Structure 1
Amino acid sequence: MVEYIRRDVERGLIDEYVIYMNTDDDQNSDRAYGYSLAERYDWVTVQERPERHPGPKQRSTGYFYRSATDANTVYLRFDDDIVYIHESAIENLVGKRLEMPHATAIFATTWNNAIVSWYAQKAGVIPETLGRLGAEPFCMDPMGWANGQFAVDIHHLLLDKIETGRVEDLYLYQDFPIKPGTQFSVSCFASLGTLYATLPHGPGVLVPDEEEHWHTVHQPTVTGQPNILIGNALVSHYTFFPQRAIVLASDVLDRYRALAEKVNG
Structure 2
Amino acid sequence: MHQQSNAVPVHFRTSSPPLLASSRRASGPGIAARPFFGRLPLHDDFPLLSSAPLTPSQAVEEIRQATRDESDTNFDDRGTTQTRCCSTLAATSTPCTRCSAAPSSSSRCCSTSGTSTCSPDPAMAFAAMDGPESLEDRRIHILLLLLEEDHRRREGLMGQGGDKTRPPKKPVDDKCPKGSMRHGNSTYCVPQEIGGITWQRPAEAKKIMGLIFYGRRSTVSILDCYLKRNLAKNGGLLDGVIFLQRTEKEKDIKFLEKLLASEPDYERWDIDMTEGGFASSYDLIQDDVLYVKMDDDIVYIEDSVIPSIVTTRAQHPEYYVVSANVINQPLISWIHWNLGAIKPYMPEINKAYPAPKPGSKLDWRPSVLPSWEGPDDFEVIDWNPPDHQKHRWLPIKGRNDHVLDRTPILETEYDAFGTGWKKWQIAAQEHYSLFENIENDALDQYRFKTWDFQLRRMGIQFTAMMGKDINQAKPIDADDEHHFAVTMPERTGRHAIADGGGVVAHYSFGAQAGEERIEQTDILERYRVYAEDMICKDPMLWDPVMNKHSD
The bucket for the TM-score relative to the shorter chain is 0.7 to 0.9
Report which of the two structures shows the higher radius of gyration computed on alpha carbons.
2
Structure 2 matches for 1:180-219, cutoff 5 A? 180=455, 182-199=456-473, 205-219=474-488
Query: Residues 17-51 of structure 1: CA distance to partner in whole angstroms, max 9, x if unpaired?
Result: 11100113xx01111111211111001101110x2
Query: Residues 123-170 of structure 1: CA distance to partner in whole angstroms, max 9, x if unpaired?
Result: 3333654322456x211111x111121111110000122233332232
- Find the counterpart in structure 2 of residue 117 from structure 1: 333
- Find the counterpart in structure 2 of residue 69 from structure 1: 286
- Find the counterpart in structure 1 of residue 392 from structure 2: none
Is residue 254 of structure 2 the alignment partner of residue 32 of structure 1? yes
- Find the counterpart in structure 1 of residue 504 from structure 2: 235
- Find the counterpart in structure 1 of residue 410 from structure 2: 132
- Find the counterpart in structure 2 of residue 170 from structure 1: 446
- Find the counterpart in structure 1 of residue 193 from structure 2: none
**Structure 1: unaligned runs, 5 residues or longer:** 200-204
- Find the counterpart in structure 2 of residue 257 from structure 1: 528
Query: Residues 73-104 of structure 1: CA distance to partner in whole angstroms, max 9, x if unpaired?
Result: 21001000000000111111111111111211
How big is the shift at 1:197?
Answer: 3.8
Query: In 2, are the aligned partners of 1:133 and 1:141 still within 8 Å (CA)?
Result: no
- Find the counterpart in structure 1 of residue 101 from structure 2: none
2:502 corresponds to which letter in structure 1? A
Distance in 2, matches of 1:107 and 1:240, equals 17
Task: Identify which of 216, 224, 236 aligns with 1:2.
Answer: 224
How big is the shift at 1:241?
Answer: 2.0
RCO (CA 8 Å, sep 6+): is it higher in 1 or 2? 1
Helix, strand or coil: the match of 1:253? helix
Task: Identify which of 214, 224, 241 aligns with 1:17.
Answer: 241
Distance in 2, matches of 1:258 and 1:89, equals 21
Helix, strand or coil: the match of 2:283? helix
2:259 corresponds to which letter in structure 1? L
Query: In 1, are the aligned partners of 2:287 and 2:469 still within 8 Å (CA)?
Result: no
Helix, strand or coil: the match of 1:233? strand
How big is the shift at 1:196?
Answer: 2.7
Distance in 2, matches of 1:53 and 1:106, equals 29
- Find the counterpart in structure 2 of residue 89 from structure 1: 305
1:70 corresponds to which letter in structure 2? D
Helix, strand or coil: the match of 2:273? coil
2:450 corresponds to which letter in structure 1? D
Query: In 1, are the aligned partners of 2:279 and 2:476 still within 8 Å (CA)?
Result: no
Identical-pair percentage? 24
- Find the counterpart in structure 2 of residue 52 from structure 1: 273
Is residue 418 of structure 2 the alignment partner of residue 141 of structure 1? yes
- Find the counterpart in structure 2 of residue 202 from structure 1: none
Distance in 2, matches of 1:264 and 1:241, equals 27
- Find the counterpart in structure 1 of residue 432 from structure 2: 156
**230-239 vs 160-169, which moves further:** 160-169
- Find the counterpart in structure 1 of residue 315 from structure 2: 99
Helix, strand or coil: the match of 1:239? coil
How big is the shift at 1:114?
Answer: 0.5
Distance in 2, matches of 1:106 and 1:84, equals 18
- TM-score, normalised to structure 1's length? 0.87
2:415 corresponds to which letter in structure 1? F
- TM-score, normalised to structure 2's length? 0.43
Cα 1:76–1:147 change in 2 (3 A) is: same
Helix, strand or coil: the match of 1:218? helix
Higher-helix-fraction structure: 1
**Structure 2: unaligned runs, 5 residues or longer:** 1-222, 344-403, 538-551
How big is the shift at 1:198?
Answer: 4.1
Distance in 2, matches of 1:92 and 1:117, equals 20
Query: In 1, are the aligned partners of 2:428 and 2:523 still within 8 Å (CA)?
Result: yes
How big is the shift at 1:229?
Answer: 0.9
**205-214 vs 231-240, which moves further:** 205-214
Query: In 2, are the aligned partners of 1:20 and 1:64 still within 8 Å (CA)?
Result: yes
Distance in 1, matches of 2:411 and 2:449, equals 20
Structure 1 stretches of 4+ moved >6 Å: none
Query: Residues 202-257 of structure 1: CA distance to partner in whole angstroms, max 9, x if unpaired?
Result: xxx33324311210121111112110111112100001122223211111001000
Distance in 1, matches of 2:421 and 2:506, equals 11
Helix, strand or coil: the match of 1:257? helix
Root-mean-square deviation (CA), in Å?
Answer: 1.8
Query: In 1, are the aligned partners of 2:302 and 2:502 still within 8 Å (CA)?
Result: yes
Helix, strand or coil: the match of 1:103? coil
Query: In 2, are the aligned partners of 1:19 and 1:44 still within 8 Å (CA)?
Result: yes
Query: In 1, are the aligned partners of 2:333 and 2:412 still within 8 Å (CA)?
Result: no
